[in-house]
Each structure stands twice: as C-alpha cells, then as structure tokens.
Structure 1
Amino acid sequence: MLLAGQIAIVTGASRGIGRGIALQLGSAGATVYITGRKPTESLNSKVGLSGLEETAAEITRRGGKGIAKYVDHQNMEEVKNFFEIVEKDQNGQLDILVNNAYQGVTAIADNIGTPFYETDPYIWDTINNVGLRNHYFCTVYASRLMAARNQGLIVNVSSGGGLQYIFNVAYGVGKQALDRLSADCAVELMKKNVCVVSLWPGAVRTELADKKFKIDDREPSSDVINAMVFANGETVEYPGKAIVSLATDSKRMKKSGKILITEDLGDEYEFVDIDGKKPPNLRSVSFILQHFGWKTTASLIPNWVKIPGWAIWAGTSRL
C-alpha cells in the first residue's frame, strides 16, 4: 500500500470531509489518528459506536489502522496531550497532519444576513478558535516531530472564503488567515523538508449538504441553485485522494506554501472521485456560471475552460 508504515493525524474526522480524508489515508495503508469531540453519554447509549469510532473501524477494515481519540480542540491542553500521546506511541514519528476540525458551521448558518455589528462579537471565537487558533497549535506540535525527522506533510483544509466577502466578517478573515498560516509556516519549514499547503475542496456532498440542499422547485431559487451545484460536487473522499497523491509525490516540496484546489490535483495526478466522476473545478467557468444560476449558459461552456489562478488573485487585490 502507498502509505504503509506512515503515521497520520486527521482532526475533526467524525463526519464530512475529515472522515473522507481519513478513510482514503487508511485505504492507502496509513495508521490514522482521528479526533473529534466526545459524544454525550445519552447519545452513546442510543447509537452504540460513535461516529469517530465507526470511522476508525472503517479505516482498519480498508487496510490501514484507525485510532480514535476524543479531543476538544477548544482546549489547548487536550490538544497538547494528544500530540504527546502520538509522539510516545509512535516513537516520535508523524508523517501527515490534516487540520480539518471546525466548529463554526451552526453559528455561520444562524447569522447569515446579519451585519457583523449586530452580531454577538463572540462569534469570532466560535468560528476561529477551533478553525484557526487550534490549527496553529496543531501545526506547532506536529512540526516539532516532523522537523526532527526532516520530513512531513501538513494540510490545512481551507476554502475560497478569504478571496471575497462570504457569510460574515469572521469567516472570511479566518480563512484568509489560515491560508497565510500555510504560506508562512512553509517558509520556516522549507529547510526541514516539511511541506505545508492549504487545500480548497470544491462543492462537497457532505452529510449536511445532502440534507440541506435538495432539488425542489418549491424551494427558493438560491437553494435550487445550490442543490444543483452540490449534486454535481465531489464526495467527502475526493479531498482524501488529493492528499494521498500529495503524500506520495516525491516533488511535493515544490507545492509548499501554496493554495491547492482538489480538482487541479485530480487533473495533475490523474485520479477521479470514488463514484467514477470528475467533479467540476472551482476555477471552471461553467461551474461559476451555474453557481450564479446561469445553467443554460454554463451548459454551453466545456468544463476544461478555467479562470487562471493569477486572474482570481488579481481580481481580489486590495492594492
């Protein structure tokens, strides 16, 4: 297996993208530590295994080794203790860290359309404590292990939310800061042969997206549009395929510090999604037009027609 003998950590892997990434790392033969919040006792008694434990079991069934650890990523002492456990158990070896844990989804959904000055300012902590501060702490602890062995891969699961305003102020600032975290850590880790990147998935068919976005003509047009976009989006395991490809690329240091889009990596490394499909690229003109509701126009443009990366950045310049 491609990653046999390698040790990986995926934070926030009970469900969604984190779960999909962990499963793909396990399918490639890695030992994968996965973290998530401990479920309430009453919930555990009703459903048996937690989502985190189920994910760990599936990793093992696929040929890797899944190790579930309950970690509250709001508590930095728990985070520190977790990395100390990994260091002790694996004799200091850590090959891959995927920072994916996130807490702000509910707060974002509950406050869409409300100006930041009318929102409780503590929404900043809800969105950026686990989604940014925790990523920094995890990156510090992981880098100490990786730098000592002169190798490693750190992936920060991010999004295009830092390019232009979306959802709310705290979200956009946090995402741009996360991308800067990747870029600046890469500078200092370059001499240690540790690759650090931001990964932007496209529209991902997570459990939450499948539940929220159902194509129904009775729903508001924006929800119908979103439903169509997500219906053609990537599965939760597609980002995992991208990370496995990065982890096995002997020239990955050339990508360190960069923002990488999952579909671009799919083109480069020639892999498709687990359903056999090739998801639309975030830079695809047809995908962008469809997102804005111009379905007919989008259908006339081939998926391979993309906006260059430099044009996206130039269009969002603050200078």
Structure 2
Amino acid sequence: MKPLDGKVALVAGATRGAGRGIAIELGAAGATVYVTGRTTRTQRSEYNRPETIEETAELVSDAGGQGIAVQVDHLDPDQVQSLMARIENEQGRLDILVNDVWGGEYLTQWNVPVWEHSLERGFRQLRLAIDTHIITSHFALALLIRNPNGLVIEITDGTAEYNDTNYRLSLFYDLAKTSVIRMAKSLAQELSPYKCTAVAVTPGWMRSEIMLDHYGVTEENWRDAAVKEPHFIISESPRYVARAVAALAGDPEAARWNGHSVSSGELAQVYGFNDIDGSQPDCWRYLVEVQDTGKPANASGYR
C-alpha cells in the first residue's frame, strides 16, 4: 500500500541522518520527495562528509517513491524561494514540509559556559538551526496551505517536557532545540485556519552516520559501541523517527497532534511501527528513568 501516493514532500536537510531516513520512508509510502542540502557529488559543505543529496534521492526512488535532489543553502532566501518556485511549477502543490536542517554537530561546545563558549560557533549554530527553518517556512507554507491537511514537521532534539526540565549542556544547543519546539507550536496557530498541522518530532539517541563514526562502529555492529558508552544500547536508527514522520503524514487525523511535541518512541506506541531491528526503543523514558538517575545501563523494558 502507498498511503502517500500523489503527495509531494520537501525534506529540508536530507543529506544524511534523520533527513535522509525521513525522505526514504516518505518515498516508501509513495510520495514524491524533494531532498535538499548543500553537499552534492561535485561540491561538499563545511561538513566535508561523503553523503550527498543525490544518494538520498536515489534511495527514495529505490524505496518506491520519486526522489528529486536540489542543492539548497537554506540560509539563502533566494535559493529557498527558487526551490519553492520549482516545486510549484513541477508539482503544483506541497503536502508535507519537514524542517530538518541542523548543521551543528561540529559547532557545539559541550559543558562550556557561555562566557567561555565561542560566540562565532554559537551564533553560527543558532543561524543554522533556527533561521533556516524560518526562512524555509516563510517561502514553503504559502504553497502548502493551498490544500487542506498539509503537514509541517519540525525535527528537534528532546520533547518539550524533557527540555523544560533539563539543561542540554550548552546554552546555544539548548536554545536551538527548544526554539524549534516552540516554532512548531507557533506554526500550529498560524496553520490551523487552513486545516493544516505542525508538529515537533524528536528522535531518541539516533545512530546517524556521524554518531556511528564517532564510536567507530557501523549500523551492522552498533552494539559494540556500548563498550565505550553503555547507554548507547537505547539508541535507534534514523529510520525509526522517519517511520514516525511517515505515520503522521499518512494519518487522516494528524491534526490531533497540532502544536504538540512528540518522540519517535511515543509515536511508535500509538501507530505500531518498529525500528529496523524490530524493536521499539523508548529513549526519552529511558533517559529519565535510567540514565539520569544514575542506574546501570539496561534497556530491558525500554525497547
């Protein structure tokens, strides 16, 4: 079954990680998916990593959808406006917008107080994490609201409940991720009159390409990383949050989530999907009940 057949999606920031996984799962559900990012086969972004938007588009098509790669710097309003003009010209509609642009993995200085933190790196992180989402919504939503049941997904780190009570180990990181949650709440108000929906969605501890490299493992042997970090046993693949987004996109009653902040683990319980290994990791409950209380790593009952 292809519940998203005929739907058009834009995954902003789909070069790797959650964005790539989300694009693939939307494609598997039948959507036409525009995948954007800065790294192509001929040009790399400041990340200087090998993943490209062309690869993501091919994976979308292999999954059963139609992947279309477009190089876009979402900090550049002109590039985003041109992207939306292209989508309107080629498709005449936009049904799903996933704001996944991040770009801050190599900018965060963990456990460094603001008076010692690099202002250049901190403000760059805020621009990449917040300004990109606002610029993209500014140009994309005018097209999305033309049809009812449009969906906007703001990808963040942490639920509103968790972030309200926990400092995320960096003022700039904390601001970035909390702001995106609030952005979804604000967009929910603006979209409601058009019968469209905005939701903030967080993965748990996600095994992105960068995270796997950090621990020197692959998706096939990721459990070996528990030697260095025992709590990594609660981690999840990018496809898990991707299946959460696809479930929301295919839900005719997705408006019940309007303005909410939800996790991949929470949505798995509601929609009944699993991660690629067949498990249902519930990372945020694990963090509160196990890791943050200083208990030994044990994912029993949490995946």
TM-score, L = length of structure 2 = 0.86
Give 1:124 deviation, angstroms: 3.3
CA distance in 2, matches of 1:243, 1:74: 24
CA distance in 2, matches of 1:255, 1:275: 27
CA distance in 2, matches of 1:162, 1:136: 21
User: Which residue number corresponds to residue 9 of structure 1?
Assistant: 10
User: Which residue number corresponds to residue 209 of structure 1?
Assistant: 211
User: Which residue number corresponds to residue 197 of structure 2?
Assistant: 195
SS in 1 for 2:34: strand
Distance verdict in 2 for CA 1:169–1:290, change over 3 Å:
closer
CA distance in 1, matches of 2:253, 2:277: 28
Match of 1:176 among 169, 175, 178: 178
Distance verdict in 2 for CA 1:36–1:280, change over 3 Å:
same
Q: Deviations over 1:99-158 (max 9, x none)?
A: 1111111011xx223321122322233111121111012122222112222330000001
Structure 2 residue runs without a partner (length 5+):
218-224
User: Which residue number corresponds to residue 312 of structure 1?
Assistant: none
Contact 1:12–1:35 under 8 Å retained in 2: yes
User: Which residue number corresponds to residue 153 of structure 1?
Assistant: 151
Q: Deviations over 1:30-81 (max 9, x none)?
A: 100001103484779xxxx962111111111111000000011222221121
- Percent identity reads 30
**Does residue 117 of the first structure (1) align with residue 115 of the second (2)?**
yes
Moved more, 143-152 or 251-260: 143-152
Q: Deviations over 1:148-192 (max 9, x none)?
A: 223300000011284322231111112211111110110121121
Structure 1 residue runs without a partner (length 5+):
216-222, 305-319
**Does residue 96 of the first structure (1) align with residue 96 of the second (2)?**
yes
CA distance in 1, matches of 2:110, 2:18: 22
Give 1:11 deviation, angstroms: 1.3
SS in 2 for 1:118: coil
SS in 2 for 1:13: coil
Bigger radius of gyration: 1
CA distance in 2, matches of 1:66, 1:193: 27
Distance verdict in 2 for CA 1:214–1:57, change over 3 Å:
closer
SS in 1 for 2:75: coil
CA distance in 1, matches of 2:227, 2:114: 26
Give 1:227 deviation, angstroms: 3.0
**Does residue 137 of the first structure (1) align with residue 135 of the second (2)?**
yes
Contact 1:10–1:22 under 8 Å retained in 2: yes
Match of 2:238 among 236, 239, 243: 236
Amino acid at match of 2:98: V
Distance verdict in 2 for CA 1:129–1:226, change over 3 Å:
farther
**Does residue 85 of the first structure (1) align with residue 86 of the second (2)?**
yes
TM-score, L = length of structure 1 = 0.82
Distance verdict in 2 for CA 1:78–1:274, change over 3 Å:
same
Distance verdict in 2 for CA 1:103–1:150, change over 3 Å:
same
Amino acid at match of 2:207: R
Contact 1:225–1:293 under 8 Å retained in 2: no
Contact 2:235–2:283 under 8 Å retained in 1: no
Moved more, 229-238 or 29-38: 229-238
Distance verdict in 2 for CA 1:226–1:132, change over 3 Å:
farther
Number of corresponding residues: 287
Contact 1:97–1:155 under 8 Å retained in 2: yes
Give 1:291 deviation, angstroms: 5.8
Contact 1:195–1:257 under 8 Å retained in 2: yes
User: Which residue number corresponds to residue 188 of structure 2?
Assistant: 186
User: Which residue number corresponds to residue 271 of structure 2?
Assistant: 269
Match of 2:250 among 245, 248, 251: 248
